[in-house]
A and B are shown apart, each in its own frame.
Chain A
């Protein structure tokens, strides 16, 4: 039996179909979930995809967090269910309080769309469980509001608890201002919650699974997710 991964469609989601396709390309079963439907249909994991939910009005992710499906996702996450927020999905998780910090306008004020290098910082998440910390993945970003910010205390806590999952880096894994595409504090591209089952990241692994159309840095993350959700631990 293959893992069933739900992908939520909000009004304004863009990458739901790509995420669904990535799940299926990697051998899982994709299940489309609807924002207004307070039912997760028994999926093993949930992806909140990228896009511009509710037009990004007010703040990115601010309105999506009140969608009926989010109440279910909150309970699912509290019970240890794997939840992955990509780009707008990451913004929604921060707005929901499921992850700390916030994502604000890029330092450059420009929308950035290109492939970046990510250094994996921890294996303690469903999407990095089978990836070695230190490994470098090529994955695209495409966002105008991806600058991760949090209070110094929150940043220190994230670091101390090993909850930084990805950092933007150079070819040899070096972290520097030059390799930071949006000005994210401490070059943070992705973080996790305390237990590790909720992960948010700005880059798009779902756009990096098919060698015909670009880099394949996302394959390892989806493979890990599919394996992990079927693990007997849950």
Chain B
């Protein structure tokens, strides 16, 4: 079975996020002066071949810890696991 999986990688709370700050600094120029707390993360989508959904999720969780994120500075979370129909 093939599963489509989405992973969200976010900077740990409390860690400075220069990218988020830059985005936050640019928004007032567009008229949004009411925005605060912008944090920029990463969204990874991949397809994995696996026997069942639980094992697909477990494998992607391991990928997320070992490569997709750096646990020193980032948190990762599997957002969605969805079976893909073969065409």
Would A62 and B70 count as touching, CB distance under 8 A?
A: yes
Return the contact of B16 from the options A66, A94, A149, A151 (Cβ within 8 A): A149
B67 close to A62 (CB less than 8 A): yes
What 0/1 readout, one digit per residue, does chain B (36-79) give for beta carbons within 8 Å of chain A?
00000000000000000000000000000001101011000000
Q: Which residues of A, 102-143, contact B by the 8 Å Cβ criterion?
A: 102, 104-109
B22 touching A109 by the CB < 8 A rule? yes
A173 in the interface (beta carbon within 8 A): no
A-chain residues with CB within 8 Å of residue B67 when the two chains form the complex: 58, 62-63, 66
**A101 CA to B72 CA in the complex, in Å?**
6
Within 8 Å CB of A95, what residues of B? 70
Give the distance in Å from the alpha carbon of A41 to the alpha carbon of B58 in the complex.
Answer: 39
B70 surroundings in chain A (CB, below 8 A): 59, 62, 95, 102
- Give the A-B contact count at a CB cut-off of 8 A: 37
B15 at the interface (CB under 8 A from A): yes
Interchain CB contact (< 8 A) of A109 among B15, B18, B68, B72: B18
B22 contacts A107, CB within 8 Å?
no
Chain A's closest residue to B25 (CB) is A109
The contact size tier of chain B is 10 to 19
Let me know if A150 is at the binding interface, CB within 8 A.
yes
B18 to chain A, nearest CB (A): 4
- Number of A residues near B (Cβ < 8 Å) is 21
Shortest B19–chain A CB gap in Å is: 6
**Which among A59, A63, A102, A105 is the interface contact of B19 at CB below 8 angstroms?**
A105
Tell me if A183 counts as interface (CB < 8 A to partner B): yes
| Cα A58 to Cα B16 with chains together (Å) | 18
- Expressed in whole angstroms, the minimum distance between the Cβ of A44 and any Cβ of chain B is 30
Is A104 within 8 A of B18, CB to CB?
Answer: yes
Residue numbers in B under 8 Å from A104 (CB-CB)? 15-16, 18, 73
Complex: A153 Cα to B22 Cα, angstroms: 28
- For the complex, give the distance between the alpha carbons of A150 and B1 in Å: 40
A35 to chain B minimum Cβ distance, whole angstroms, is: 17
Report whether B18 and A58 are in contact in the complex, using a CB–CB cutoff of 8 Å.
no
Which residues of A in the span 18-41 have a Cβ within 8 Å of any Cβ on B?
A: none
Are B72 and A150 touching (Cβ within 8 A)? yes
Q: Which residues of B contact A151 (CB under 8 A)?
A: 72
In contact, A149 and B18 (Cβ under 8 angstroms): no
Q: Given that A102-B73, A149-B73 are known contacts, is A107 also in contact with B68, CB under 8 Å in the complex?
A: no
Q: Which of A192-216 contact B (CB under 8 A)?
A: none
Complex-state Cα separation, A44 to B32, whole angstroms: 58
Docked Cα-Cα span, A98 to B70, in Å, equals 14
Chain B residues whose CB sits within 8 angstroms of the CB of A102 once the complex forms: 70, 72-73
A59's nearest neighbour on chain B, judged by CB, is B70
Residues of B within 8 A of A59 (CB): 70
B residues contacting A by CB (< 8 A) are 15-16, 18-19, 21-22, 67-68, 70, 72-73
A sample of 12 more A-B contacts (CB under 8 A), given A109-B18, A109-B21, is A62-B70, A63-B67, A94-B72, A95-B70, A102-B73, A104-B18, A104-B73, A107-B16, A107-B18, A108-B18, A147-B18, A149-B15
